[in-house]
């Protein structure tokens, strides 16, 4: 505990302040566009949204500092406790789960809390630690079948539970992308990736039969123009959001002045489709700025990971970068009509308290790797000299 308090006091000296400053810039930008997106009449005032997002940002910075000061080796030693924590957290969806008007039972609605909590967002952080712990234990034979199966077991448990209890494919795919990013960065043989692609290709016809028709159409409309050609059913949100995204032209219509944003015609214009609102009100240049800011966070995670001499810390950084990259890619892809609609927020810009806090917490792991790029676990077992 004393060591932790010492690390916490030295957070501003040792932690990754560059990463934190970039995140705060992105959060500040997000607050501005949320204020504009929620000023439409259908929201009946935007103060609540701004207050929650600002409060989540403050709490997120606190979590960033707290997690940055933790010793990753200590967390790694309690891997099974983290697995149990994830399991219990997801099982709480049975008595307390709610769909939050999304169709997926992904949120915990506790009577005494003013906001809902998405447990899978919290599980992203613990899953990265679990994966890093498993990979570190097997790093000398990372491509051996027993090592790969051990990693796949943890992925299957988390994805299976989340899909069974919430049916949220979007967050489940984040876990898969974290797995891919960490195993690739950790040196798993490319042959395993080829085997996985082959297995998916073989299993796809079977898995396709388990999808509902609306889920199939969400995928098929990307390739089949004959599905909803008038844009009144499955293609409706694609049409409206793409029109909004391109409606700002090169420059913009102006904040608080977007035709569809302020008219309240966009679906989830402050959450999943906020990128379309940005395109309408801030134009192409605004969208470019968003991408630069998001990629700056991802690039910083990769940079810290490359500089880490410790294997476990390196794969943690790449796990965080993979999660963010996937969310950005899917969210922007949904708005431009090249990705299926699976409901993922734009990191630190979309409205959502759980998302903001957990992203800052996840990036706290990266800051911790920056502060302590090498393992210090031996210091906990070596008794100091007493003369």
Give the pLDDT confidence of 149-176 residue by residue, as tens digits: 999 999 999 999 998 998 888 888 999 9
- Distance from the Cα of residue 139 to its chain's centroid: 26
Spell 210-239 as b/e; 16+ CB within 10 A means b. Answer: eeeeebebbeebeeeeeebeeeeebbebbe
Helix (H, G, I), strand (E, B) or coil at 364: helix
Residue 54 lies in a domain: yes
Distance CA 354, CA 86 (A): 16
Residue 384 lies in a domain: no
| Element holding 386 (H helix, E strand) | none
Number of structural domains (the chain) is 1
Distance CA 239, CA 174 (A): 26
How many CA atoms does the CB half-sphere of 173 hold within 13 Å? 17
pLDDT (0 to 100) of residue 197 = 93
pLDDT (0 to 100) of residue 328 = 95
Q: 117: which DSSP letter?
A: B
Beta bridge mates, 108: 97, 117
Mean pLDDT lowest for which of 152-156, 203-207, 315-319, 339-343?
339-343
Distance CA 194, CA 103 (A): 34
Residue of 357, 372, 359, 360 whose CA lies nearest to 314: 372
Report the pLDDT averaged over residues 289-303. Answer: 97
Range list of H helices, the chain: 2-9, 11-14, 17-37, 47-68, 72-77, 79-91, 93-96, 119-137, 145-166, 169-185, 190-209, 213-220, 236-247, 259-263, 274-307, 311-336, 353-371
Q: What is the reported pTM?
A: 0.91
Distance CA 43, CA 351 (A): 13
- Does the structure show a pLDDT above 60 at 234? yes
Residue of 203, 204, 230 whose CA lies nearest to 219: 204
Domain interval for residue 167: 2-379
Residue 373 near residue 133, CB atoms below 8 Å: no
Number of other CB atoms surrounding residue 187 within 10 Å: 12
pLDDT (0 to 100) of residue 379 = 53
Angle between helices 17-37 and 353-371 in degrees, nearest 10: 170
Q: What values do phi and psi take at 107, rounded to 5?
A: -115, 145
Q: Of 13-22, 69-78, 104-113, 331-340, give the range with the top mean pLDDT.
A: 13-22
Number of other CB atoms surrounding residue 350 within 10 Å: 25
Q: What is the pLDDT of residues 263-276, one digit of tens each?
A: 877 888 888 889 99
Q: 380: which DSSP letter?
A: G
Spell 160-169 as b/e; 16+ CB within 10 A means b. Answer: ebbeebbebb
Residue 23 lies in a domain: yes
* Plot region of 136 (φ>0 → left; ψ -120 to 50 → alpha; else → beta): alpha
- Does the structure show a pLDDT above 90 at 98? no
Distance CA 44, CA 48 (A): 10
Residue of 2, 13, 134 whose CA lies nearest to 68: 13
Name residues whose C-beta falls within 8 Å of residue 208's C-beta, 6 or more positions apart in sequence. 216
Residue 385 lies in a domain: no
Residue 387 lies in a domain: no
Query: Count of residues for the chain?
Result: 387
Residue 24 lies in a domain: yes
Q: What is the pLDDT of residues 57-96, one digit of tens each?
A: 999 999 999 999 998 998 998 999 999 999 999 999 998 8
pLDDT (0 to 100) of residue 352 = 87
Average per-residue pLDDT for the chain: 88
């Amino acid at each position: 505990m004393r060591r932790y308090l010492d690390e916490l006091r030295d957070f501003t000296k040792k932690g990754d302040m560059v990463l934190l400053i970039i995140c705060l810039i992105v959060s500040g930008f997000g607050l501005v566009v949320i204020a504009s997106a929620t000023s439409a009449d259908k929201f009946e005032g935007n103060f609540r949204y701004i207050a929650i997002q600002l409060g989540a940002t403050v709490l997120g910075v606190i979590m960033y500092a707290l997690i940055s000061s933790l010793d990753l080796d200590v967390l790694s030693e309690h891997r099974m406790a983290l697995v149990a924590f994830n399991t219990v957290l997801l099982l709480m969806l049975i008595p307390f789960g709610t769909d939050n008007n999304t169709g997926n039972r992904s949120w915990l609605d506790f009577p005494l809390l003013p906001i809902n909590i998405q447990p899978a967002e919290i599980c992203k952080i613990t899953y990265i630690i679990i994966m890093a712990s498993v990979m570190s234990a097997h790093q000398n034979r990372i491509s051996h079948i027993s090592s790969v199966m051990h990693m796949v077991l943890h992925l299957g448990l988390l994805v299976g539970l989340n899909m069974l209890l919430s049916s949220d494919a979007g967050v489940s795919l984040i876990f898969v992308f974290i797995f891919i990013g960490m195993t690739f960065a950790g040196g798993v043989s490319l042959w395993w990736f080829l085997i996985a692609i082959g297995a998916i290709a073989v299993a796809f016809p079977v898995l396709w039969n388990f999808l509902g028709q609306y889920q199939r159409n969400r995928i098929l409309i990307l390739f089949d123009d004959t599905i909803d050609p008038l844009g009144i059913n499955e293609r409706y949100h694609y049409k409206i959001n793409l029109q909004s995204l391109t409606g700002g032209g090169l420059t913009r219509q102006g904040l608080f002045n977007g035709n569809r944003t302020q008219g309240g015609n966009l679906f989830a214009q402050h959450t999943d489709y906020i990128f379309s609102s940005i395109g309408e009100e801030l134009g192409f240049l605004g969208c470019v700025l968003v991408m630069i800011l998001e990629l700056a966070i991802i690039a910083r995670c990769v940079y810290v990971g490359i500089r880490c001499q410790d294997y476990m810390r390196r794969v943690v950084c790449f796990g965080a970068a993979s999660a963010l990259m996937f969310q950005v890619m899917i969210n922007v892809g949904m708005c431009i009509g090249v990705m299926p609609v699976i409901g993922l927020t734009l990191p630190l810009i979309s409205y959502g308290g759980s998302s903001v806090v957990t992203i800052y917490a996840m990036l706290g792991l990266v800051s911790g790797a920056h502060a302590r790029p090498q393992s210090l676990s031996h210091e906990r077992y070596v008794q100091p000299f007493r003369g």
